[in-house]
Amino acid sequence: MSRIIGGAVISLIFIFIYGCNTTAGRGYVNPEFSDYKLTSVAVYVDNRGDVGELLELGLVNELRRRGVNAVSVRDIARFSNSQEEFVEKVWGLGVSEVVSVVMADSQGSSTYGYQSFGSAYSTGSYTTANFTTTPMRTFHRSMLTTASVFDRQGNKVWEGDTERSAQGLVFIGDRLTVSETTSALIDALSESGLI
């Protein structure tokens, strides 16, 4: 009996820690730009947090790895006094395109059950019982992105989005979440023929 209970507890711990993980991305090319290829790109992720920075740098590195000249413009955005100044400085870098990414990132936990441990002692007509109840939690995270590619004339060349859902302690960390999202965005750009 104790082996069955031990096996059940180990199975629950395994599911709790490992969980599951799915990431998907898709892209849409503007029909007027069906043969467009990225050449020199400024990448901007509209999120001031660490995850936004990781995503922006991940995209820059992956684009460079695929032969596209890519630069991060996070610091330009951070220190520009207006949107007009930001746009002027970005185009002043000599880039041909801007990849703009808007992201939403949420994470949390939920209780899916309780585990109780305890003991009872009886002597004569007296019974003493002690027990502890611990909530069993599952952790989850979702990240959604919408990315757009604009040329120097302001035309939207491409739009794509990704969705990442993860559950379990192994799959909800920042680096893995960003890595999977970056890969999905790069794959969507590649499948659309832009890189």
Residue 125 lies in a domain: no
Domain membership of residue 83 as a residue range: 21-111+139-191
| Residue bearing the bigger pLDDT, 7 or 54 | 54
The DSSP element (H or E) to which 26 belongs, if any, is strand 20-29
How many whole angstroms separate alpha carbon 53 and alpha carbon 40? Answer: 20
Span 65-71, average pLDDT: 96
Sign of CA dihedral 176, 186, 66, 41: negative
pLDDT of 147 higher than 60: yes
CATH of the domain at 47: 3.40.50
As a whole number of Å, the CA-based R_g of the chain is 24
Number of domains in the chain: 1
Q: Residue 189's pLDDT is what?
A: 96
pLDDT of 4 higher than 70: no
Span 130-138, average pLDDT: 79
Percent of the chain with pLDDT over 90: 53
Q: Residue 11's pLDDT is what?
A: 58
Residue 96 lies in a domain: yes
Q: What is the pLDDT of residues 83-125, one digit of tens each?
A: 999 999 999 999 999 999 999 888 887 777 777 777 778 887 7
> 115 - beta bridge partners?
134
**DSSP labels, 74-121:** HHHHHH-SSHHHHHHHHHHTT-SEEEEEEEEEEEEEEEEEEEEEEEEE
Place of tokens 């599911």: 15
> Pick from 2, 11, 18: which is nearest to 176 by CA?
18
Residue 33 lies in a domain: yes
pLDDT of 36 higher than 70: yes
Residue 123 lies in a domain: no
Residue 41 lies in a domain: yes
How many whole angstroms separate alpha carbon 186 and alpha carbon 23? Answer: 12
Span 32-52, average pLDDT: 92
Strands ordered across the beta sheet of 156-167: 20-29, 156-167, 126-151, 97-123, 40-45, 69-72
Residue 132 lies in a domain: no
Q: How many CB atoms lie within 10 A of CB 15?
A: 15
Orientation angle between helical segments 50-65 and 174-191, nearest 10 degrees: 40
Q: Residue 14's pLDDT is what?
A: 54
Q: What is the pLDDT of residues 151-189, one digit of tens each?
A: 999 999 999 999 988 776 656 678 888 889 999 999 999
